[in-house]
Amino acid sequence: MKKEFNSKLRVAAIIFFALVALCFHFIFLMPLSLSFFSTTLFISIAIIIFSILFSGFSEKKLVLLLIPLTIILFIGYCVSTSGMFRSKSYKSLIGTIKEQEFSKDISPIDITQLPVVDKAYAEKLAEKKLGEAGAIGSQVVTGDPVKQIVKDKLCWVVPLLHSGFFSWVSNREGTPGYIVVSATNADDVTFVKELNNKPISLKYQPNAFLGDDLKRHAYYKGNEFTGLTDFSFEIDDNGTPYWVISRYKNTIGFSGENVIGTCIVNAQTGQVDNYDVDNTPKWVDRIQPEEIIKDQLNLYGEYIKGYQWFTKNDKLKTTDDGEIIYDKGNCYFYTGLTSVGKDSATIGFTLTNMKTHETTLYKTSGATESASIKSAEGKVQNMGYTATSPILINIENIPTYFTTLKDKDGIVRMYGMISVQDYNLVGVGETTKQALSDYTKALTGKGSSSSLNSSGKVNHEQDTVLRIGQENIDKTTFYHIIVKEKSDVVFVVSSDASSELALTQPGDKIEIEYIDSDNSVINATAFDNLEFSQKKSTTEQKIEGTKK
């Protein structure tokens, strides 16, 4: 009788524990693979609980031996796959790092296409646009802005998400669209509510519940055995909204994350397509998550000389900040590399292609992002502006940090450019053109002109205007000029350079100043229309003399 009772209790305990395990799995969506820490830990705990339960129903206590055996195996596996024994494997996760000259890989940037809107500002502009939509703003919230290129335009795409459980219950069909914020023009903000004359409804999203929850929906569509991370909202060139999720596996014990492909979820219909890295659609900008890239770079720096006991010699680490930048349509993750224990100087920086995982190291000593931020803020310390996390750009073949300077309300007031190699070389201005001009003067004034380009000189030329056009970017007018004497080059001049630009016509003789470069688009630093000769007042002459 006792045996029969114990047998029933055992069956009931197994059923109860199985139900608990299923609920636990449904809630936490653990990958069905022992290479993931959470899954192995859960199974280990389950074995221990089962051992205790069975020992209570049986006179034979041998089953209790499973408890220390499980613990020993678990700890032993963790130790055997640690850096102490697998340092080479950890170091090689990032792949082969090639060294290259900065100017050969990253194109000099067109001053009119500088990404003047950072992530925080994009979110602020999106929230403002949502507030203009009326009552809808109380039902939804803005999601995480994602930087991407859509139809050759760099922008931030911001999804609208449920504000909570009751918002989801009352709007099961989904939230009404997304907001597109230009990364180069703060005035260009669009609320996209329709696609092909049909209303947009983002049904599958992180703020939904049960079957509408994005991770749960993607997990049960062929991703039960892989890890899912970096849930990014992206749109294709037709404006169709998707969630792009990176699929990964652990290759070294419970770590060593290696991206194996993407899971792309249509945010409206819920259609799920799983891809390898090589056949992921071309419109997807990012496959390799920035956190995984940064972890791999840190592991490379940690074990660059193998496993070392109680020493930091020769070890490297990434700088605190890192940014996503674009060049020639490619998406890169940028971060500096610094010696462990040294906070303000870098030994170089890396660019990792976020599609192909190819990493390039540019060895050049210089300032970290945080040091450059302090340098830019020091330039305008009397105004109390704070600098945003800088991005890396190419100014006449010189690696340069570009940052925006904001007031206490988060509004962009000025722009700053800081030399990566020497953070004392700073240029600021109320427009990007003014910042570039101030920065160029800082470079040439400190004897850095020889590194600006191949010839290392500032050109003053008299030319004849062949074509002239204008473009308004970020509340500043830029003039694009082609001259007869150099028709294969487009000169870009800000309206701040001269009031004569607005009166200039084809055929006019002009004098233009620029830093010598082989680029097809050159940012001019000074302009004078020789057809006009206005008399300058004594005050104007003094101001020009002071500038010089």
Alpha carbon dihedral 138, 144, 149, 150, in 10-degree steps, equals -30
Of the pLDDT bands very low, low, confident and very high (cuts 50, 70, 90), residue 381 is confident
Cβ-count burial of 308 within 10 angstroms (0-12 exposed, 13-18 middle, 19+ buried)? middle
- Please give the single-letter amino acid code of residue 468: I
407-425: pLDDT as tens digits: 998 888 999 999 888 888 8
Residue 2 has pLDDT above 60, yes or no: no
pLDDT of residue 152: 86
User: What are the pLDDT digits (tens) for 299-309?
Assistant: 999 998 888 87
pLDDT (0 to 100) of residue 508: 94
Query: pLDDT per residue over 117-152, tens digit each?
Result: 999 999 999 999 998 887 776 789 999 999 999 988
* Residue 154: how many other CB atoms lie within 10 Å: 18
pLDDT (average), residues 85-103: 88
pLDDT digits (tens, 9 = 90+) for 30-48: 899 999 998 999 888 888 8
Is the pLDDT confidence value at 472 over 80?
no
**Residues 131, 136, 141: CA angle, nearest 5 degrees:** 70
Q: Residues 427, 405: contact at Cβ < 8 Å?
A: no
Q: How confident is the model at residue 103 (pLDDT cuts 50, 70, 90)?
A: low
pLDDT of residue 453 exceeding 50: no
* Per-residue tokens: 105: 């890989």
Calculate mean pLDDT across residues 345-351.
84
What's the token pair of residue 473?
């970017």
**Mean pLDDT in the chain?**
85
What domains does the chain contain, in order, with CATH numbers?
2-80 (no CATH), 115-276 (no CATH), 290-452 (no CATH), 458-547 (2.40.50.140)
pLDDT for 474 equals: 55
The phi-psi region of residue 104 (left if phi > 0; otherwise alpha if psi is between -120 and 50; otherwise beta) is alpha
Where do the H-state alpha helices sit in 101-213?
102-105, 119-131, 165-170
In the predicted model, what is the mean pLDDT of residues 268-279? 95
How confident is the model over 233-256, as pLDDT tens digits?
Answer: 999 999 999 999 999 999 999 999
pLDDT at 544 over 60: no
Average the pLDDT over 278-306 and give the result.
93
**311-330 pLDDT per residue, tens:** 777 788 888 778 898 888 88
Q: Is the pLDDT of residue 538 over 70?
A: no
The C-alpha angle 270, 275, 276, rounded to 5 degrees, equals: 160
Confidence of residue 548 (pLDDT cuts 50, 70, 90): very low
Distance CA 246, CA 276 (A): 10
Q: What is the pLDDT of residue 105?
A: 65
CA-nearest of 301, 344, 304 to 320 is: 344
Adjacent-strand bridge partners of 112: none
The whole-number average pLDDT for the span 476-504 is 86
Of 37, 33, 26, nearest to 216 (Cα)?
26
* Segment 215-231 mean pLDDT: 95
d(CA 435, CA 418): 10
CA distance 458 to 27: 64
Whether residue 116 has pLDDT greater than 60: yes
What is the structure's pLDDT at 255?
92
With contact defined as beta carbons under 8 Å apart, do 322 and 298 qualify?
Answer: no
What own/partner pairs with CB < 8 Å and gap ≥ 24 does 360-364 have? Answer: 360/97, 360/98, 360/99, 360/100, 360/105, 361/97, 361/98, 361/99, 361/100, 361/337, 362/99, 362/100, 362/101, 362/102, 362/105, 362/399, 363/99, 364/102, 364/399, 364/420, 364/421
pLDDT confidence band for 69 (50 / 70 / 90): confident
Give the Cα separation of 268 and 260 in Å (integer): 25
